[in-house]
Amino acid sequence: MPNRETVEEFVALVEAGAFDTAMERFYAENASMQENQDTPRHGLTALIEGERRTMARSRNIKATCIRPILIEGDTVAIRWHFAFEFGDGRSVVLDEMTHQRWAGEKMREEKFFYDPKQMGR
């Protein structure tokens, strides 16, 4: 189970815009990530590459953790507010919940819950 300090360090990196660094530091090698009911993506390398593609398409991404952060054993739940400014001029605001399963100080699974209409789907 992660300690609160570990989760707070993770949140601080995300809020600082260091999304890929947060993944490198806190995700397990065999981590998975899933958007709503989409097929999960697996493996730290693939997850970081996907994150870097999103970052490259964006002029700016502002992430804000809406507290409290809920931690119960190996389970962490965080509400996020993201504001994206894409290179093509579009702006998107995303309010989401993430459900995480940790093994010690590394995240094994992360699933995001949000209304896909927020992303223009």
Q: How many domains does the chain have?
A: 1
Judged against a pLDDT cut of 80, whether residue 119 lies above it is answered with no
Which residues 6+ apart lie within 8 Å of 98 measured at CB? 77, 78, 79, 80, 110, 111, 112, 113
Mean pLDDT of the chain: 95
What is the CATH classification number for the domain harbouring 80?
3.10.450.50
Task: Provide the domain limits for residue 106.
Answer: 4-119
Judged against a pLDDT cut of 60, whether residue 100 lies above it is answered with yes
Grade residue 116 by pLDDT with cuts at 50, 70 and 90.
confident
- Tens of pLDDT, residue by residue over 39-91, are 999 999 999 999 999 999 999 999 999 999 999 999 999 999 999 999 899 99
pTM higher than 0.85, yes or no? Answer: yes
In this structure, are strands 91-103 and 58-72 parallel, antiparallel, or unpaired? unpaired
